[in-house]
Amino acid sequence: MVVPELRPWRAARPHVVRITDAVRPRLARAAGIVRPSLARVAGAAAPQVARLTRAAGPQLARITKAGPHAGSWRYTAGAATAGLALAAGVVTAAGPWDGTGQRTAERDRAVALDHTGGADHGRKDDSSGTSTAAAGAPRPAPSAASVLTGLGGAAGTVKSAPDALPTTTGLKAVLDRLLADPALGARHTAAVVDVATGKRLYGSGADTALTPASTTKIATAVAALSAMGPDHRLTTRAALEPDTRELVLVGGGDPTLTAREDAQGWASLRTLAAATAKTLKARGVTQVTLSYDTTLFAGAQIHPIGVNPNLAPVTALSADEGRTDDSTSGPVTRVSDPAADATRKFAAFLAADGITSSAPGPSKATTRAETLATVSSPPLSTVIERMLTNSDNDIAEALARQTAVATGVRADFAGGGKAVRARLDKLGLPVTGAVFKDGSGLDRADRLTANLLTALLAKAGDPGLPALRPVLTGLPVAGFTGTLSTRYTDGAAGVVRAKTGTLTGVNTLAGTVVDQDGRLLAFALLTSDTTDPTAAQTALDKAATALAGCGCR
C-alpha cells in the first residue's frame, strides 16, 4: 500500500475552510493528470483503497466530532492529513510500476503537486484584515523530502529544506531524555540519519547488535529487490508429464497465491485450474493423476520457533498462506501441509471444470513435462509492500528463500539468511555484527544494529537505486495503514512511516520521518528486556513524534 508523503503542520489555529481552499486546486490538478492511469487500474486498486478508507475512518470520525470550529490545531492537521491520505490514496494505491521501479500514478501526482512549501492557508505576510489572510495565520508548511526520486530528474534534493542539517547536539537534547524512559528496558540503541546525504546525525549504541524482531523485514526487502528487481514475478504452473497423464502442480514460491473467489489482483489458483482444464479437454483428457512439486525450496518447513499461528510451514506451494479462515494477515491457525491443501483445492476446481483426478501426492516435475498453464504474482514491488505494511511473516520467509534461489544458495532457513546478508554486503551496507537466522525476524537469534537499519532505509532512498524504493513506500503510515494504523492517533499521524517489531521483551521501530524543516530522516530504535510492550511502544512513538516536531538544531 502506498500513501504519498504527507507534510507536517505547525501548531496553529486556522479555519478548516482555508485548508480546503488551499488543497482543492492541487488535488484537482493531480486528478486531471492521473485520471487515465486510474481508469486502467481502478479495479486492482480497489482493495487497497478500501483498506485505506477503513484505516482513516477513525481519524475522520474523531475529527468530525471535534467540529470545524473546534479551535484546535489538532483538528486542522488531522483534517488535512486524513483528507489528503484518502484523496491521494486513490491515485497511489493503484500503480502500476514503470521500468524504473516507480509507481507511475504516484510520480504523476507528485509532479502535479510540485511546489515549494505546503498549503499557504491564504496567509499574506504581515497582513491584517480578513480571517482568511490574517497576520496570525500559520506560515506555509515545509515540503517533505521526496520518497520517490526522479520526479523531475534532479538529484532528489528538497527545495524548501534548509541547507543546515539537524545537529547532534539538538537531537541529543530531544532524544536522550525520551530514550531514557524505563519502559524501554535495560538495553536500547538508536540512530538517526539524513536520507538525502546519508549522514548519521545521532547515535546511541548504534553499532551494537540487538534482536530486531520484525524490523528484519526491511533487510529482507532490500535483499530481495536487489537480487530479483521490482518487476520480478513469482509463477505457479501446471505441467503434464508425457505419456503418463500425470499432472504436476509446480510451486513457484509465491506466498500470495490465493484460492479465494475474489483474488483481488493476486495470482489465482482458480484461474490456473480453469486454464489447465481447458487445455486438457482440448486434448481429449478428462482424467489425470495429480501431484505437486515443492522442490524449489529446501530444508525444514517448520520455523525454529516451532508451530506458530504467526507463520505457516514454509513451502514453495501454498494458497492463502495456509490460513484456516478468511483472514489475510495476522496470527491464525494454519494447515499442517500447505502444499497438499493447495493441491486438494486445485483438484476441486479441476473437478468443477470436468477434470477428475487422483488424490494428490508429492512429486517432482521432469524436464520433459509440458507446461499447460501458469499464473503469476503481481510485481515483487507490490509483494514487498504487502509484506512491510502488514508485517507478513509468510511473505518474508518466502522472499528470503527466493533471494537464496536467485543467488544460487540452498533455499532453506540458513541459506536464506546467508543470501540476505551477502546481498546487503554487496550493496556496501554495514553488516558487521548482523545475524540472519530467518527472513521474518521471528527468530530471537537474529541480530541487527541501528546503524544497519538506518543505512538500509537511506539506501532505499538513494536516487541511483530506484529499484529499492518499495522499501520506503511499503512502510506502514502512522495512524493510517498496517501495523501503525492504530498508533500515533494523537501524534504524528501521516508523518511517521515505520516498520514495527515486537517479541516478548523486544520492541523496535525503524522508518522515516519528516522534521519541521522538511528534512527526511531515517531512524531506528531498538530495545531489549522490556517488560510492558504497550508502554514500550508508547515510548518509541513519543521519540519518533519528537523527531517530527523538531528542527533539532
**Around Cβ 325, how many Cβ atoms within 10 Å?**
8
CA 429, CA 482: separation in Å to the nearest integer?
27
Is 217 annotated as catalytic? yes
Q: CA of 455: how far to CAs of 187, 326, 535, 543, in Å?
A: 21, 37, 27, 19
Catalytic entry in 217, 418, 459, 499: 217
SS3 state of residue 31 = helix
Q: Which amino acid, residue 81?
A: T
Q: How far apart, in Å, do the first and last CA atoms of the chain sit?
A: 34
- Choose among 30, 143, 145: nearest CA to 92: 30
SS3 state of residue 511 = strand
- Choose among 378, 366, 249: nearest CA to 316: 249
Beta bridge partners of 247: 240, 290
Beta bridge partners of 504: none
Is 127 annotated as catalytic? no
CA 146, CA 163: separation in Å to the nearest integer?
16
Catalytic entry in 391, 440, 485, 528: 391
Beta bridge partners of 447: 435
Per-residue H/E/C for 95-127: CCECCCCCEHHHHHHHHHCCCCCCCCCCCCCCC
Per DSSP, 187 falls in state E
Is residue 261 within 8 A of residue 326, CB to CB? The reply is no
Burial 278-306 (b: 16+ CB within 10 A, else e): ebbeeeeeeebbbbbbbebbbeebebeee
DSSP per residue, 352-384: HTT-EEPPPEE----TTPEEEEEEEPSPHHHHH
Catalytic entry in 146, 204, 214, 363: 214
Using DSSP bridges, classify how beta strands 506-514 and 356-357 pair: parallel, antiparallel or unpaired: unpaired
Is residue 212 within 8 A of residue 453, CB to CB? The reply is yes
CA 536, CA 539: separation in Å to the nearest integer?
5
Is residue 289 within 8 A of residue 362, CB to CB? The reply is no
Is residue 505 within 8 A of residue 183, CB to CB? The reply is no
Catalytic residues: 214, 217, 391
